[in-house]
A and B are shown apart, each in its own frame.
Chain A
Amino acid sequence: AAGVIQSPRHLIKEKRETATLKCYPIPRHDTVYWYQQGPGQDPQFLISFYEKMQSDKGSIPDRFSAQQFSDYHSELNMSSLELGDSALYFCASSVSGGGTDTQYFGPGTRLTVL
């Protein structure tokens, strides 16, 4: 079965650089979520999109932005990177109207800021 695809899987950046993370949800899933997970931490919700519109916003810094495109893939743009942005970034997708909001997580992008 198709899963959530994230790219790149690993990314190394310098402080103050920018980064773009991509997420390709499971086909026919209409909702995408972004989470940040620090070492030994639980996933922290950043932002979500439903049908290409932002549906909810969590603890996403103003330096980050995201969008969902017409083909439902999503990109998380991160600017002015800081050391504290080093983390695993997960994308998850779900399908609405199915009576459940089960989220299927991608493998994650490990971002290291030096």
Chain B
Amino acid sequence: GQQVMQIPQYQHVQEGEDFTTYCNSSTTLSNIQWYKQRPGGHPVFLIQLVKSGEVKKQKRLTFQFGEAKKNSSLHITATQTTDVGTYFCAGPHYGGSQGNLIFGKGTKLSVKP
């Protein structure tokens, strides 16, 4: 069945270092969404990418959607302790109704001060 894969599973960085998580889908996606979940919290929507090759920036966060619309990445420049959490990518379930999302396993980011 349809799968969304995400690597790495864990990433430990020193504060100020950069961080990247990668997401790959087994199927072409109409869009890809990124969520952040803080420890003990709920997933919070970060961004949605729709166009092939799209790049969007939010302050220190840069999101990319691959040309084939099957992969995506999230890059954080100069991480801060507030970036700690698990970052999930999610894509619409193929054949499902609008909005039914398939999540990647997430990348858990820890930042050492």
Report the bound CA distance from A108 to B99 in whole Å. Answer: 19
A93-114 contacts to B (CB < 8 Å)? 94, 96, 100-108
* Range, interface on chain B: 20 to 34
In the complex, the answer to whether B93 meets A42 with C-beta atoms within 8 Å is no
Contact A33:B88 (CB < 8 A) given known A90-B43, A108-B42: no
A44 to B105, CA, bound (A): 10
Residues of B within 8 A of A41 (CB): 105
Classify the interface of chain B: helix, strand, loop or mixed.
Answer: loop
Q: Which residues on the B side are within 8 Å of A43 (C-beta)?
A: 43, 88, 101, 103
Q: Which of B31, B88, B99, B106 has the most chain A CB atoms closer than 10 A to its own CB?
A: B99
Proximity bits, A42-58, B CB within 8 Å = 1, else 0 = 11110010100001101
Judging by beta carbons under 8 Å apart, are A103 and B42 in contact?
A: no
Distance in angstroms between the alpha carbons of A47 and B80 in the assembled complex: 36
Residues on the B chain within 8 Å of A100, using CB = 31, 48
* Inter-chain contacts of A48 with B (CB < 8 A): 97, 99-100
| Contact A42-B97, Cβ < 8 Å, known A90-B42, A90-B43 | no
Contacts of A68 in B (CB 8 A): none
B45 adjacent to A42 (CB under 8 Å): no
Measured CB to CB, the residues of A under 8 A from B are 31, 33, 41-45, 48, 50, 55-56, 58, 90, 92, 94, 96, 100-108
Known: A45-B93, A56-B97, A105-B35. 5 other contacts (CB 8 A): A33-B100, A42-B103, A50-B98, A56-B99, A101-B31
